[in-house]
A and B are shown apart, each in its own frame.
Chain A
Amino acid sequence: KAGVTQTPRYLIKTRGQQVTLSCSPISGHRSVSWYQQTPGQGLQFLFEYFSETQRNKGNFPGRFSGRQFSNSRSEMNVSTLELGDSALYLCASSQVGGDRYGYTFGSGTRLTVV
């Protein structure tokens, strides 16, 4: 079956702009989590959605937001981009919540802010 699909793969934006990233989970998976990966901070949890509801949120400013649709697809949005937002953004899905069984990750979206 198809894996977790993230689009776009690469993105270049200018400071102050906003960006929307998309994630399509594995069919049947209802939980979608987002992570930010940078060389300095490693993998940091952004938020998790389950059945269109945000179930948990990491320690990121309000410029980072997300949502989940009825088909479990998820989007995350970053407004007023800063240079420090340059990172690999990873989406992960699981059937009900990956904490006990592990997540399946997408290939990520590489965001570069200039």
Chain B
Amino acid sequence: AQSVTQLGSHVSVSEGALVLLRCNYSSSVPPYLFWYVQYPNQGLQLLLKYTSAATLVKGINGFEAEFKKSETSFHLTKPSAHMSDAAEYFCAVSDGGYGQNFVFGPGTRLSVLP
């Protein structure tokens, strides 16, 4: 079974600073990995996904993530935070099966300080 941990339920950065949100996964098979963002009272929006192609994945809004198999990590980064990046971020892992095999992490709330 897959599982996901996200270190830090709340991360604060200053506007213009580097954003780093951590995600570690557990999977018995080669994983598919995703980052989603959720704004207040909204659904989840897919930021980026890793599906066994390039290990460095670029997503929307300037975000990127790097798959590191040896560290079982898929951390999300953005070089320069913007106020509009304040939201909750979820990492998810899948083994390629259906439904229940798609597991979300607990989420990290990102605050961007002026």
Contact = CB atoms under 8 A, between A and B. Distances in A.
Interface residues of A, number: 29
A67 interface: no
A42 B96 CA distance: 22
B77 interface: no
A90 B43 contact: yes
Interface in A11-55: 31, 33, 42-43, 45, 47-48, 50, 55
Given A4-B43, A99-B94, A107-B42, A42 B106 contact: yes
Contacts of A45: 99-100, 102-103
Given A42-B106, A42-B107, A99 B96 contact: yes
Interface of A: 4, 6, 31, 33, 42-43, 45, 47-48, 50, 55-58, 90, 92, 97-108, 110
